[in-house]
Chains A and B, each alone.
Chain A
Amino acid sequence: MSFSFTTDRKKRFKALLQSYPDKRSVALPALHLAQEQEGYLTRETIEALAHMLELAPADLMDTVSFYTMFRTRPTGKYLLQTCSTLACSLNGADQLTDHLQEKLHIKVGETTPDGKFTLLKVECLGSCGTAPVLRINDDYHEKLTLGKVDRILAKLK
C-alpha cells in the first residue's frame, strides 16, 4: 500500500519544509510524523518520504537504520522499554525485566501472541534519579517496584 500523510499531518509536514533551511534536515521530523501515523516504517513509507524530501531512498533507509526509535517492523500495542543501564541496574532493573518476561511469557525483543505487548531493553533514559524506569510507548514510569508495574499493566487495555 502506498503511503501518504493524513490531511493534518500533510500540513505539519509542509510547515516543517518551510521552517528548515534545507530539505534533508526534515528527515527525522518527517520520519517521526510518519511513524506516529503508521505505527512503524515500511519500505514503501520510507520510499515515499524520500521522494518528498528529494533524497535517494537508500540514503533515507541508511538514516532510519541508525536510530533505535525508528521501527521497521510492527510492534505490540504497548511498547515496554525497560532501562537497563547502570543506575537503573543498581536499583533493580534486571529483576524488573525478568519479572516482565515471566509475567508476559515473552523474552526481550518479543511480542505477546495477542499483539498487546512488546518488551524491549533500552539504554539510559535520562531519568536515573527515579530508577528503575520503564517507558511505555511515550510515557515514563519511574521509581518502579514489581507491584507498581503489575498495577500499571493491569490498567492497560
Chain B
Amino acid sequence: MTGYEPILTKHLGQPGSATLAYYLSNEGYKAARSAVRDMDRSQIIQTVKESGLQGRGGAGFPAGVKWSFIPQNSKKPKYLINNADEGEPGTFKDRLLINHNPHQVIEGMIIAAKAIDCHLAFIYIRGEFVKEARVLETALDECYNNKILGKGIFNSKYNLDIIVHRGAGAYICGEETGLIESLEGKRGWPRIKPPFPAIEGYLGCPTVVNNVETLANVPHIIANGGQWFRGIGANPESPGPKLYCVSGHVKKPGVYEGPCGTELTTIIYDWAGGIRDDNKLKAVIPGGSSSPVLKANEIDGLKMDFPSVQAAGSMFGSAGIIVMDETTDMVQACYNLARFYAHESCGQCTPCREGTTWLIKILDRFTKGQGRQEDIDLMLDVTDNIGGLIDLSYGSFGKTICPFGEAVSWPVRAMVEKFRPEFESYLTEKVTG
C-alpha cells in the first residue's frame, strides 16, 4: 500500500519496543493521561463513536456504542475485560501486538476503563501464551511503579488496577460470555443472551469485553481524533488500521498492517509474496476459520472490510486469511476444521454437540473411501440443524446458545457446496484410499 504508514505496528522490530521507557519516548500514555485528567466519560465515548472503530475480535460491533451501553448510574462495579484468548484458527495478531508493544494495549485499556468508570480490568489471555503473559506482567509492573496504574493514576483521583488472567486451553473461552464464566472460575460455558454483559457480565456486574487489537487502536483515536480515524481506509463505514494475518500456502506468511478495505489480492500477492511454488490459488478463508471459504475467482477486487466481505458471502471476522493452493484437498481441509469444532464444542447445546460429532463421523467415512452418495446432502442437513441457513445479517443466530453453531456450520456448508465435485470424487476414486 503506497503512502500508508503503519500505526499499530509502527515500532515493530525496534529494540526495546516493549519497554515503558521506549513507549514514553514515543508519545506513549499521552492520550491516556489526557483521557484520565481532562476528558469525561461521554467525551471519550463520543470520540470513539465518531471514529467508527469496530471490534476486531470477529463480530465488528462498534466499540463506542458498546461502551455506551454500560449503565451510568448503576452502583455496581463495572469491569473491562481485554480478550486476548486468540484462538480462532488463522488468527495470530494479538500475540504480536502484546509482544512488541504491550503498553499500547494497556494504554487503550486505561482509556476504555475511564470511559465506563471501571476500576478493575482484566486481560484474559489464552493459557498457552505463557511468554506473552509475562510480557504483560512486566509491562504492568512498570506502570505500577510509575503511577500509570494503581491509585491516583497520572496524579488524578482515578484508580485503576489491571490483572493478567490466564485461560487454560479452550477455544470457547474466546466467546465473551464463555470467557466471563471462565474468569469466574467455572467451565467456559457461554450464557444465554440477554442479559448482555453490559448489563450483567462478570459477577453479575456491567462488563465490557473488547479484543486486544480493538483496544490498541484507542490511544491513536484519542490522540488524533475520531475523524482522523474514520478517514483511514476505503470505506468510512468500516475504517481504521488493520492487522491482516496471512497463513497457509503463501511465500511470506505473517501479520501485515494496512488500512481497512485493502484488496485481498494485494495482501496475498504483494505483501505475502503470492502463492508458494507459484502454484495456482484454489481457495481463501478470509476472516478466520469461522468465515465461509471463498473460491479463487471470488476474491478479485474484494476489499477487506466488514461490509464488503459480508457482501461477498463470507465474514471479515478476525482477518485471519488462510490461503489454499491447487494442491489442497478440500475434503481433508473440511475434515480438519470439522474436527477442530467437534473438539472445541462446549457441549451445552444438543444441535452443536451432536451435529459436530455427526459431521466428523461422515467426513471420516469420506476420507476412508466409505462415503455414501447421500452423505453429501446429509452434511448440508446437519449444518442446517446446527446453524441455520446462511444468512449473514447480524443477529439472525438462533438454534444455539452462542454463535459457535454458525461458526461451524457456515464454513463447512460453504466448503461442501463450493467444492461438491471434489466430495463426489471421493465416492468413486478413492474407494481403496
> Which chain B residues numbered 98 to 134 have a C-beta less than 8 Å away from chain A?
120, 126-131
Q: Complex: how many Å from CA A127 to CA B245?
A: 10
Pairwise interchain contact A123-B344, C-beta atoms closer than 8 A: yes
Pairwise interchain contact A26-B253, C-beta atoms closer than 8 A: no
Scoring A residues 23 to 36 as 1 if CB is less than 8 Å from chain B, else 0, what string do you get? 01111110110000
The stretch among A66-74, A95-103, A107-115, A144-152 that forms the contact with chain B is A66-74
Across the interface, name the chain B residue whose C-beta is closest to A53: B185
Scoring B residues 76 to 112 as 1 if CB is less than 8 Å from chain A, else 0, what string do you get? 0100000000111111101100000000000000000
Residues of B within 8 A of A128 (CB): 89-92, 245, 247-248, 253, 320, 322
Pairwise interchain contact B171-A123, C-beta atoms closer than 8 A: yes
Q: A67-B169, A67-B170, A130-B253 are in contact. Are A85 and B340 (CB under 8 A)?
A: yes
B188: min CB distance to chain A, Å:
6
Pairwise interchain contact B169-A69, C-beta atoms closer than 8 A: yes
Partner of B289 from the list A21, A59, A86, A140 (CB cut-off 8 Å) is A86
Pairwise interchain contact A129-B253, C-beta atoms closer than 8 A: yes
Pairwise interchain contact A138-B248, C-beta atoms closer than 8 A: no
Q: Complex: how many Å from CA A22 to CA B249?
A: 47
Pairwise interchain contact B249-A90, C-beta atoms closer than 8 A: yes
Most buried by A among B127, B185, B188: B185
> Which chain B residues numbered 312 to 366 have a C-beta less than 8 Å away from chain A?
320, 322, 324, 328, 332-333, 336-337, 340, 343-344, 346
Residues of A within 8 A of B333 (CB): 86, 89-90
Most buried by A among B90, B168, B320: B168
Quick check: is A125 within 8 A (CB to CB) of the other chain? Answer: yes
Quick check: is B190 within 8 A (CB to CB) of the other chain? Answer: no
Most buried by A among B130, B248, B289: B248
Residues of B within 8 A of A68 (CB): 168-170
Quick check: is B251 within 8 A (CB to CB) of the other chain? Answer: no
Interface size (B, Cβ < 8 Å)?
56
A76: min CB distance to chain B, Å:
18
Residues of B within 8 A of A126 (CB): 86-87, 91-92, 94-95, 126, 128-129
> Which chain B residues numbered 172 to 223 have a C-beta less than 8 Å away from chain A?
182-188, 203
Pairwise interchain contact B247-A24, C-beta atoms closer than 8 A: no
Residues of A within 8 A of B186 (CB): 24, 27, 59, 62-63
Pairwise interchain contact B248-A90, C-beta atoms closer than 8 A: yes
Residues of A within 8 A of B183 (CB): 25, 28
Residues of A within 8 A of B187 (CB): 62-63, 65-67
**Contact surface of A with B, Cβ cutoff 8 Å:** 19-22, 24-29, 31-32, 53, 55, 59, 62-63, 65-70, 84-87, 89-91, 122-131, 135, 138-140
A22-B203, A86-B337, A128-B92 are known; give 19 further A-B pairs, CB within 8 A. Answer: A19-B161, A21-B77, A28-B165, A28-B166, A65-B187, A67-B187, A68-B169, A70-B168, A85-B89, A85-B336, A89-B332, A90-B247, A90-B328, A124-B289, A128-B90, A129-B246, A129-B247, A129-B254, A135-B128
7 shortest interchain CB distances as A-B pairs? A27-B185, A67-B168, A66-B187, A69-B169, A68-B169, A128-B247, A24-B185
